[in-house]
Structure 1
Amino acid sequence: MKRFSYLLILLIMIFISHQNSLLAQSGKIAGKVIDGTTNEGIPFVNVIIEGTNYGAASDLDGNYNIIGVPPGTYNIKASAIGYNSQTVRGVKVSIDLTTQVNFTLYETSIELKEEVVVVATRPPVTKDLTSSTSIIGADEISVLPVTEFQEVLNLKAGIVGGSVRGGRKGEVVYAIDGVPVTDVYDGSTVIDVNANSIQELQFISGAFNAEYGRALSGYVNIATKDGDNKFNGSFTSYIGDYYSTNEKIFRDIKNFQPVNIRNFEGSFSGPIIQNTLFFYLNARYIYFGGWINGKKVFNPWNITENRGATYPLSERYILSVNPDSGLGNGEIVPMNWNEKIYGQGKLTYRPFTNFKINYSYFLDNVEYRDYDHSFAYNPDGDYKRFRKGYTNILGFTHTLTPNSFYTLNLTYFFKSYKQYVYEDPNDPRYTNDVLLGQQPAEVPSFRTGGTQAGNFKRLTNTYGAKWDFTSQVDQINMVKFGVEFNYHNLGFNDIYLMQPLNTEDPRVTRNPFVRRYIPNPDDPNENLNINRYVRKPIEFSAYLQDKIELKEMIINVGLRM
């Protein structure tokens, strides 16, 4: 572990010592500049992306390439001495894809009153899409009724409940700004990403490039927004509730509460130092009351007694309770609710024109409950659930030449999950096992008392380093290779809290409570009630791939170890 820490520090020092600001998640703009009179290529034409530092010069045949362009929509301008300039507006760039933009320039001797402006049109077929891919940009996301990227994905064909084309949920890899952030414990995401923070989302459901490892069913690329030289901000909110008059299916759902669902989200971005240091912030709070309610008919400490068959059914089962507490108060409570706090911060530092540093932090904290029908009338006896995740990404991007750049990403992410009725295993409110098992024979569907006795906690810590090098070798070949290293520390405690042996029957003692304890793993009579797991796996991978762009076809070929 110490060697790994020293290696990260050394790599940071090496890369900072070097000096075009690029994203790891990037695309390419390519095309040709021709003379409108002779139809021949024009060399040494300056092709720039307006409002950015990205650009290139055409070669002797008039061809040009601009690599490492962040996803988005741009205006591209071509200009040369002796020619009228031309601008193509609304050029859309996507992750890993090449956008073709060709220019036709005329000599200034041919009278043109002003610069030529052309509006880009999207081709009916994306030629370099060699896999099943869906691409959604920020403009499209902004008009969708969604708040998280999973909701965007669920609108795509082939995705149902987080599974892709019938595969398991753990077969999808999620990446933020080029860095995989999948929890190796179960294949879920470490954190969610708000839809308003996404610059582009790309979903690949087959034929992955060599750079995309570990994915079996799908790969989700998320490029997040950066700050720029303009201050921008937004605030959105909605409130509401579920309503139905069908109380045979829904319990008390016709009691409409306008703020039972409430969402507040805001974002703010801009410069700290003009042209050098930028920030992007996003935060969200949501309370979701759900549509399934329970009713506190019983308390966890209620004891059921059978008075015998001589009594009518409505009077046969009497609940003997602590005289100071009584039965449940009949309160209606939500049983599939969740409360979530989300935060994201991103700093972008450009100390030189060809070097960029990004630092991103994501926080996702959720408290919730899953509906269990058997606890519908004893809701306080069921589990409370807690999920927390945060991610740190430190990225360096360095342009070596107009046709080559590399990226280095150092990451740390953490995720935990807990479920219990009471956090303290020795909490005096835990009840005897008998109460959880008691059910009138004629009504076996509902718990009339008792508390769940499980106490489950798990966590994942992952440290990672990922280095990628990209080079447009010539007009046809774009080569990319890289390595990735991940160190994981994961584990869980799955414990059934024991009650002391020879604990008396609460139906006799009228005492429903017990002092539970954590079982002894060395005791063969108790160790079956405790399951502990700790593992520290290490992953290493390397890949080499080539994107071959011919006039007749485009080929992606690669090798991954």
Structure 2
Amino acid sequence: MKNKVKFLISVLLLLISVQLVFAQYGKISGRVVDRETKEPLPGASVVVQGTTLGAATDVNGNYVILNVPAGTYTVVASYVGYQTVTVSGVQVIAGLTRELNFELPSTAIELRAVEVVAERPLIEKSATNAIRVVTSADVEKLPVRDVNVYFALQAGVSLQYGRLYIRGSRSDEVGYMIEGASVTNILGAATGARGGAFAARDRYRALGGGLITTIPEALEEISVQAGGYSAEFGGANAGIVQQVFKSGRSKFSTSVQFETDNFGNYPGKKFLGTYSYGYSDIVVTLGGPLFTERIKFFLAGENNFIRDYIQHFFKGYNFGYLKDNGRRGGTKGDSALVAWNDANIPGGW
């Protein structure tokens, strides 16, 4: 029993260390001023709720909060003699700076606590290129399960035969990143999607793609950069596809999702007007604090099974009456009705 406990602790510490090494961060910066006079407020406190992150403003009222994991947060600004202002829905994108300014009203003016809901800016000022982001909230709303489809929904990106193309470039010119580490397959493979007819057929012919298949529920954000990216990225001429995992929060959360088409379906038989391909998928996630608010964890596991990876419809061929010319030992002039369908193949397609 003691050995099992030690093993579990070792695994958790390993997962935490991997998260610390590869976690992708953004930052929050801005200015805190008096609402009436617009004068800067030096020494004001700006805190990210639910975390240990925060900063104090300088003499000009400016502040910077570094190493903020990608996600959506609530930020609170406070100062002695002023009302506290809370801004919720602040989205932080990995590698970018979220600008967030505060105007604090004086306590001399009787007001209730000020709460503001942040809006996503139309233009990312800190981005030097065309970057498009899909957040975890967007992933939950999209009726698809393949991560590649999230990429293909962005402007300038197309998905053909299981391969991604950005702005008409070759598929092997796209770089794939997960938590800041390159997972581009330079030897050639499909893009790491869950099977599919072309992914299985072209597995050894396709160039480029990702080596790792990720779980959609484990992703905090997905970003596509179409050229013009900074020097930290390399080995890609067309664009960069980057995925960032979720991190633990201050409260425990768990989810279970199960999908299947195996309800009474058997090979070759219809059920509710359709056929079963033997598909089933179950995803379990768990996250929250680990003994203390300073250490958090997030785990996700998936079991995906598809009986038929090359899914297609086949009604068979009817060649009609074919005549025997007698050159192969048959009776010249003989004819027979020739048809080809699933019955000709042992086990069907």
Match of 1:202 among 223, 230, 248: 223
Match of 2:280 among 233, 257, 262: 262
- Kindly provide the CA deviation profile for residues 303-347 of structure 1, in whole angstroms up to 9, marking residues without a partner as x: xx932462524399xxxxxxxxxxx8754534xxxxxxxxxxxxx
Q: Which structure has the greater CA radius of gyration?
A: 1
Question: As a proportion of its length, which structure holds more strand?
Answer: 1
Query: Is the CA contact (8 Å cut-off) linking 1:148 and 1:193 kept in structure 2?
Result: no
Aligned partner of 1:160 in structure 2 is 159
Aligned partner of 2:53 in structure 1 is 54
In structure 2, the CA distance between the partners of 1:228 and 1:38, relative to structure 1 (3 Å rule), is: closer
Scaled by the length of structure 1, the TM-score of the pair is 0.47
CA distance in 2, matches of 1:314, 1:41: 94
Question: As a proportion of its length, which structure holds more helix?
Answer: 2
Match of 1:286 among 278, 286, 305: 305
Aligned partner of 1:95 in structure 2 is 94
Query: Is the CA contact (8 Å cut-off) linking 1:23 and 1:69 kept in structure 2?
Result: no
Gaps of 5+ in 2: 1-16, 189-207, 263-267, 318-326
Aligned partner of 1:141 in structure 2 is 139
For 1:281, give the aligned amino acid.
A
Question: Secondary structure, in 3 states, of the residue corresponding to 2:348?
Answer: strand
In structure 2, the CA distance between the partners of 1:124 and 1:278, relative to structure 1 (3 Å rule), is: closer
Deviation at 1:265, TM superposition (A): 2.4
Match of 2:126 among 106, 125, 128: 128
Query: Is the CA contact (8 Å cut-off) linking 2:278 and 2:305 kept in structure 1?
Result: no
Gaps of 5+ in 1: 1-15, 242-251, 298-304, 317-327, 335-561
Query: Is the CA contact (8 Å cut-off) linking 1:22 and 1:70 kept in structure 2?
Result: no
Deviation at 1:54, TM superposition (A): 1.2
Query: Is the CA contact (8 Å cut-off) linking 1:295 and 1:331 kept in structure 2?
Result: no
Match of 2:187 among 175, 185, 189: 185
CA distance in 2, matches of 1:308, 1:40: 102
Deviation at 1:151, TM superposition (A): 1.8
- Kindly provide the CA deviation profile for residues 211-235 of structure 1, in whole angstroms up to 9, marking residues without a partner as x: 0110111101111012334332222
Aligned partner of 1:338 in structure 2 is none
CA distance in 1, matches of 2:314, 2:283: 29
For 2:255, give the aligned amino acid.
S
In the TM superposition, what are the counterparts of 1:284-323 in structure 2 within 5 Å?
A: 284-287=303-306, 289=308, 290-292=310-312, 306-308=328-330, 310=332, 312-314=334-336
In structure 2, the CA distance between the partners of 1:313 and 1:189, relative to structure 1 (3 Å rule), is: farther
- Kindly provide the CA deviation profile for residues 472-531 of structure 1, in whole angstroms up to 9, marking residues without a partner as x: xxxxxxxxxxxxxxxxxxxxxxxxxxxxxxxxxxxxxxxxxxxxxxxxxxxxxxxxxxxx
Query: Is the CA contact (8 Å cut-off) linking 1:270 and 1:280 kept in structure 2?
Result: no
CA distance in 1, matches of 2:52, 2:290: 19
CA distance in 2, matches of 1:234, 1:284: 14
In the TM superposition, what are the counterparts of 1:21-36 in structure 2 within 5 Å?
A: 24-36=23-35
For 2:120, give the aligned amino acid.
R
CA distance in 2, matches of 1:64, 1:220: 31
CA distance in 2, matches of 1:47, 1:229: 18
In structure 2, the CA distance between the partners of 1:270 and 1:50, relative to structure 1 (3 Å rule), is: closer
Over the aligned positions, Cα root-mean-square deviation in angstroms equals: 3.0
Deviation at 1:84, TM superposition (A): 1.6
In the TM superposition, what are the counterparts of 1:12-23 in structure 2 within 5 Å?
A: none
Aligned partner of 2:40 in structure 1 is 41
In structure 2, the CA distance between the partners of 1:229 and 1:60, relative to structure 1 (3 Å rule), is: closer
CA distance in 2, matches of 1:172, 1:218: 5
Deviation at 1:201, TM superposition (A): 0.6
Question: Secondary structure, in 3 states, of the residue corresponding to 1:56?
Answer: strand
Question: Secondary structure, in 3 states, of the residue corresponding to 1:196?
Answer: helix
Identity of aligned residues (%): 32
In structure 2, the CA distance between the partners of 1:288 and 1:202, relative to structure 1 (3 Å rule), is: farther
